[in-house]
Amino acid sequence: MKRTELPFDPIGEAHRQWAAHGWEESADAMALVTSIMRVQQILMARAESVLKPFGLTFARYEVLMLLLFSRRGALPLGKVGERLQVGAASVTNAIDRLESAGLVLRRENPSDGRGVLSQITPAGRKLAKRVTDEMNADLFGSLELSQKETTLVFERLRDLRSRAGDFS
């Protein structure tokens, strides 16, 4: 991946072009959407570089944390997908990998013969905590945004998610 630093903001440039081509109305929104895409890309790259030494991807880390936080350390696969907003196939794949690594295991769901429970193992709990310490130090702790700004942006993005139908 190319990581050359540009001498100007490429999204600011796109914004100018957008307006110059008669799309003034939506130039600001375009710039915001493009920014979100780019920031996500930057943050994801950092997250994966923290997680890689542990053999985890961000998707698998999210699953692991969800199970760590769950009341019994176990959830039906369907619930996992619902909470993380990913498809059933992705959940199956993530659990496969986590299971191979001994971090979770599959169990029958006593209350639904069709369903499968994913359960975090002691090794999974231990790793989740250790990895989170790293994530807090290297990613979340170095955002370079003030407390006030962080909260402010979070709230606007929460509005976006809510209106998009993510939750009610």
Partner DNA sequence: TAAGATTGACTCTTCAATCTTC
Partner DNA sequence: GAAGATTGAAGAGTCAATCTTA
Distance CA 55, CA 63 (A): 14
Distance CA 21, CA 48 (A): 38
Question: Closest approach of Cβ 2 to a second copy, in Å?
Answer: 5
Q: Which is nearer to DNA, 22 or 165 (CB)?
A: 165
Handedness of CA 58, 59, 65, 69 (dihedral sign): positive
Residue 119 interacting entry, from DNA, a second copy, none, C-beta within 5 to 8 Å by type: none
Q: Which is nearer to DNA, 88 or 143 (CB)?
A: 88
100 token code pair: 């191979």
Q: Which is nearer to a second copy, 17 or 100 (CB)?
A: 17
Considering the rule CB under 8 A, would residue 33 count as an interface residue with a second copy? yes
Would you mind telling me the total number of residues written for the chain in this entry? 168
Question: Closest approach of Cβ 120 to a second copy, in Å?
Answer: 14
Distance CA 88, CA 146 (A): 37
Residue 53 interacting entry, from a second copy, DNA, none, C-beta within 5 to 8 Å by type: none
Stretch that binds a second copy, among 20-28, 48-56, 98-106, 113-121 (CB under 8 A): 20-28
64 token code pair: 């692991």
Binding site for DNA (CB under 7 A): 1, 57, 59, 76-78, 81, 86-97, 106, 109, 112-117
Considering the rule CB under 8 A, would residue 163 count as an interface residue with a second copy? yes
Distance CA 131, CA 62 (A): 11
Distance CA 31, CA 7 (A): 18
Residues 58-77 that bind a second copy (CB under 8 A): 58, 65, 69
